[in-house]
Amino acid sequence: MTAGQGRGLLGGLLAKRACFDCHSNETVWPWYAHVAPMKWLVVHDVEEGRAVINFSDWHSGDMSGREAAREISSSRMPLPQYFMMHPEARLTDAEKGQPPSHPGASGWNARLQQML
């Protein structure tokens, strides 16, 4: 998958709403990111998040979209501390969907698996 395809697929769906603040170069820094001690926590999450996956700079082979889908369907991502200030990032069960390897998987996460 190319960076453009990856961004298109995830970005057009839910990654932008739920993942981009920590996993892209498009972080919208909240006001509390400038205030210690929150600052250190937020900056740390974003640095670490970008280090594992950066949706703005996604090269094929860099990361597995399948892994991203698994994180979402198992509710491990987004990180829970994010919801306090970003309730819009909460995903419904329908949005989370089945893990991509699940026989009943459909929708965006099944497509992600086919592409990777």
CB of 98 to ligand HEC, least distance (A): 15
Asked if 71 touches ligand HEC (CB under 6 A), the answer is: yes
Binding mask 41-70 for ligand HEC (x = CB under 6 A): ----x--xx--xx-------------xx--
Structure tokens belonging to residue 20: 């981009």
- Which position has the token pair 């932008």? 16
Asked if residue 35 binds ligand HEC (CB under 6 A), the reply is: no
Q: Which residues of 19-36 are buried (b: 16+ CB within 10 A; e: fewer)?
A: bbbbbbeebeeeeebeee
Neighbours of 57 (CB within 10 A): 12
Give the interface with ligand HEC as residue ranges (CB under 6 A): 15, 18-19, 21-23, 45, 48-49, 52-53, 67-68, 71-72, 77-79, 82
